[in-house]
Amino acid sequence: MTCRNRLIVACMAISLIAFSAGTASAAFLSPAAVVEHSAEHSPGNTATFGPLNAIDGDPATFMILENDGGTPSTQGHYIMDMTGDPLKVFNFTDFRYRSRQATGSINAQAVDIITWSDDDPTNGTLPSDEAADVQVQTPIVVPNTANGADNDFALTPFSARYVGLRVSSNYDTNHANWQAADFLFDGTIENIPEPSSFVLIVLCLLGLPCFGWRRRKRRS
């Protein structure tokens, strides 16, 4: 193999590494973490009703959150970190709202699936579900199902690390709360190439013409 061919192979290898994607196949996955949420219904009993129960993938557990006060347009919010990694994004295709395993389940009703223009809900001074850079991806209406029912919704495909649920109405008229067993999203996790990878690729591409010019100069 000539030096020029070795250089070409090296460039191709770097490109494949830099742009490799799909570290997880398309499937319903739980978010990696909860960033922010409405107030807990029972702060002293987080293990039973806490917000983390909605991302544990266990249909037997559930969360109960209070309606938000002081923001008439929003009765609840729940913001998630889908990948837990600044170098990965999630390609969203579908959303699953799993009801709690009880006949008295109280689902959220009108829900906006939201993201942020800078993909960072922690920026800004406003509550992250009311910030100026919020983008509504898909509005949905969740039926008030119970007994662990899975309610699936097709999303307008988008890619982001963070995703949120902004609730503008729910089915509870007595206790001002909303409940869920699990929130899951269908899609794939994608690697974001690091800047150093782009630099290596550019250097390889720039080096190929120089290498050819050098060889032609030697022959002459």
Assign residue 161 the CATH number of its domain.
2.60.120.260
Please indicate, yes or no, whether residues 61 and 15 belong to a single structural domain of this protein. Answer: no
Q: Do 84 and 9 fall within a single domain?
A: no
Give the whole-number percent of the chain exceeding pLDDT 90.
55
Tokens of residue 67, six digits: 């309606």
pLDDT single digits (tens) 155-181: 999 999 999 999 988 888 777 889 999
| Among 87, 107, 89, 111, residue whose Cα is nearest residue 98 | 107
Least confident among 82-86, 128-132, 190-194: 190-194
- Are 172 and 206 contained in the same domain? no
pLDDT at 203: 47
Residue 84 CA to residue 161 CA, distance in Å, equals 8
Q: Pick from 115, 119, 94: which is nearest to 166 by CA?
A: 115
pLDDT at site 14: 46
Give the tokens for residue 79.
């913001």
Interval 47-91: pLDDT, tens: 999 999 999 999 999 999 988 864 445 688 999 999 999 999 999
Instruction: Tell me which of 12 and 37 has the higher pLDDT.
Output: 37
* Interatomic CA distance for residues 11 and 20, integer angstroms: 14
pLDDT given at position 176:
81
Do 183 and 197 sit in the same domain of this protein? no
